[in-house]
Structure 1
Amino acid sequence: MNIQLNGKPRSTLATTLAQLLAEAGFGSATVATAVNGAFVPLALRTRQDLKDGDQIEVLAPMQGG
């Protein structure tokens, strides 16, 4: 399936958001996620199915002031 991950095209075999994060190397990182502009909390990532053409955003928190 073909998706967009942080604005870049990506081909994946992942069928859920959690699988995609593991595949992309985000594994245990603390990140915020959205699918097609809708926030997906950590507890729902294993149930968030992906479809061809989905746009996924993964954001890491930043420290500073």
Structure 2
Amino acid sequence: MQIYLNGELTHTACSTLLELIEELALDGKRFAVEKNEIIIPKSKLAQTTLCAEDQIEIIHAVGGG
């Protein structure tokens, strides 16, 4: 299926947001996820399904000084 990931059309076989996070190797890192302009808590990633044309925004924290 095709989704928009951070504004870019992307093909994925993932069916949930958790699978997408794991595919992007972000599991265990600090990030925030928005699906169709709604922030999704990390506790709900496994239950949140992906649908064709969903708009997903993932922002991850970068450390620095």
TM-score by length of 2: 0.89
Deviations 1:25-54 (A, max 9, x none): 212211000000000000000000000000
Match in the other structure for 2:43: 43
Shift of residue 62, structure 1, vs aligned partner: 4.9
CA distance in 1, matches of 2:42, 2:19: 12
Shift of residue 19, structure 1, vs aligned partner: 0.2
2:3 aligned counterpart, secondary structure: strand
Root-mean-square deviation over aligned CA pairs: 1.6
Structure 1, unpaired ranges of 5+: none
CA distance in 2, matches of 1:34, 1:11: 18
- Residues matched between the structures, number: 65
Structure 2, unpaired ranges of 5+: none
TM-score by length of 1: 0.89
Q: Give the alignment of 1:22-41 within 5 angstroms.
A: 22-41=22-41
Kindly report structure 1 stretches of 4+ aligned residues shifted beyond 4 Å: none
1:22 aligned counterpart, secondary structure: helix
